[in-house]
């Protein structure tokens, strides 16, 4: 069997997991790590790659046009918004992601954020330690969570896990997801509503939207203007689904009372210019909702499982994001031609 050049285009600390997994596949995989940050980096470092492992690297049309040997793009993430998927479909290029590796971590992050805000833990801590106040009536409008409504924008794997975690606290939960079967909502006891209703009725709003051309800046001033409860907004999905200027304005005018943001438009923002830095009603974390040692290990293994399944043409075992838009039979023919 042909040996495949597999190139990981980013640095992290999962090499031991990869080496352990790849022990039995040394005859079919030549694995290298070549960190790449720009289009030019990717074109240079992946020039001889059959398969690339990516997370945030720019896999643009320009990049794909200059990687003639490329047979598969394997994301080591749930999101896959850095690739020109339309062009990948045009050239019949399979793109895979991993949908299960950090869902518990992100669900814990969202639930923890909601609970921490509901009991005002960070604010009381700041009042005591920084303002030297011992005032239990600092927030006289505090309410029990069971008297409030949590709205989910997108109700996939992670949002469903958040709902299960919050169920024990008795909060009412509603969700918007036009792509989900109604039976899922019924099974979990979640009311299916419109996107507009999420903003009208929720005390907490949690975004779980993927980022694509259809969802970019979907959450904007038009939706923020619908709020009636001064809700808390939580985003652990992708920063690009939110118009950040509109969010800042809504936080200033009280349409949104508080925001917990793990993601921003820029994956590596300039903190000196970030508008949320000096806002007391915003919690910022550096895209860490996914983070755990276990999640890192699983991401390394799950992405390589997609790679191995592709090499062995076990396409039904791969999490293709564009399965319905490419011809895998044609891809198989291409592989057979290459291997001869």
Nearest to 209 by CA among 328, 78, 317: 78
- Taking the CB of residue 338, how many other CB atoms lie within 10 A of it? 11
Angle separating helix axes 157-167 and 103-118, nearest 10 degrees: 40
**pLDDT of 20 over the 70 cut:** yes
How much is the mean pLDDT over the chain?
95
Q: Specify the pLDDT at position 339.
A: 46
Q: Specify the pLDDT at position 338.
A: 47
Beta bridge partners of 233: 205, 259
Nearest to 141 by CA among 161, 113, 117: 117
**pLDDT of 340 over the 50 cut:** no
Q: Specify the pLDDT at position 329.
A: 83
CB crowding 224-262: b at 16 or more within 10 Å, else e: beebeeebbbbbbbbbbbbbbebbbebbeeebbbbbbbb
For 132: left if phi > 0, alpha if psi spans -120 to 50, otherwise beta; the answer is left
Instruction: For residues 156-167, give the mean pLDDT.
Output: 97
Summarised one tens digit per residue, pLDDT across range 65-85 is 999 999 999 999 999 999 999
Summarised one tens digit per residue, pLDDT across range 267-307 is 999 999 998 999 999 999 999 999 999 999 999 999 999 99
Nearest to 79 by CA among 293, 321, 318: 321
User: CATH fold of 103-284, please?
Assistant: Rossmann fold (3.40.50)
Q: Outline which parts of the chain fall under CATH 3.40.50.720.
A: 4-100+293-339, 103-284
Domain 4-100+293-339 has CATH 3.40.640.10: no
Summarised one tens digit per residue, pLDDT across range 211-258 is 999 999 999 999 999 999 999 999 999 999 999 999 999 999 999 999
**pLDDT of 332 over the 80 cut:** no
């Amino acid at each position: 069997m042909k040996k495949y050049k597999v190139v990981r285009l980013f640095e992290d600390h999962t090499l031991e997991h990869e080496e352990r997994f790849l022990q039995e596949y040394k005859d079919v995989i030549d694995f290298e790590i070549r960190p790449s940050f720009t289009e030019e980096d990717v074109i240079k470092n992946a020039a001889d790659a059959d398969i690339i492992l990516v997370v945030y690297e720019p896999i643009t049309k320009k990049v794909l046009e200059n990687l003639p040997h490329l047979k598969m793009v394997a994301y080591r993430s749930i999101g896959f918004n850095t690739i020109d998927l339309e062009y990948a479909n045009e050239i019949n290029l399979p793109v895979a992601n991993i949908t299960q590796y950090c869902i518990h971590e992100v669900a814990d992050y969202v639930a923890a954020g909601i609970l921490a805000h509901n009991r005002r833990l960070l604010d009381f801590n700041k009042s005591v330690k920084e303002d030297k106040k011992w005032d239990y009536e600092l927030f006289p409008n505090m309410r029990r969570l069971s008297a409030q409504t949590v709205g989910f924008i997108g109700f996939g794997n992670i949002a469903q896990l958040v709902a299960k975690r919050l169920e024990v606290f008795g909060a009412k939960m509603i969700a918007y997801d036009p792509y989900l079967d109604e039976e899922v909502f019924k099974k979990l006891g979640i009311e299916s509503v419109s996107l507009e209703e999420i903003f009208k009725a929720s005390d907490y709003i949690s975004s779980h939207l993927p980022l694509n051309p259809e969802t970019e800046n979907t959450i904007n001033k038009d939706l923020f203007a619908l709020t009636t409860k001064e809700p808390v907004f939580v985003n652990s999905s992708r920063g690009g689904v939110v118009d950040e200027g509109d969010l800042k304005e809504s936080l200033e005018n009280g349409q949104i009372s508080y925001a917990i943001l793990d993601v921003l438009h820029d994956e590596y923002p300039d903190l000196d210019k970030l508008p949320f830095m000096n806002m007391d009603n915003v919690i910022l974390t550096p895209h860490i909702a996914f983070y755990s040692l276990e999640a890192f290990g699983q991401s390394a293994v799950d992405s390589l499982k997609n790679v191995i399944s592709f090499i062995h043409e076990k396409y039904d075992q791969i999490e293709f994001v564009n399965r319905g838009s490419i011809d895998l039979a044609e891809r198989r023919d291409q592989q057979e031609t290459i291997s001869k």
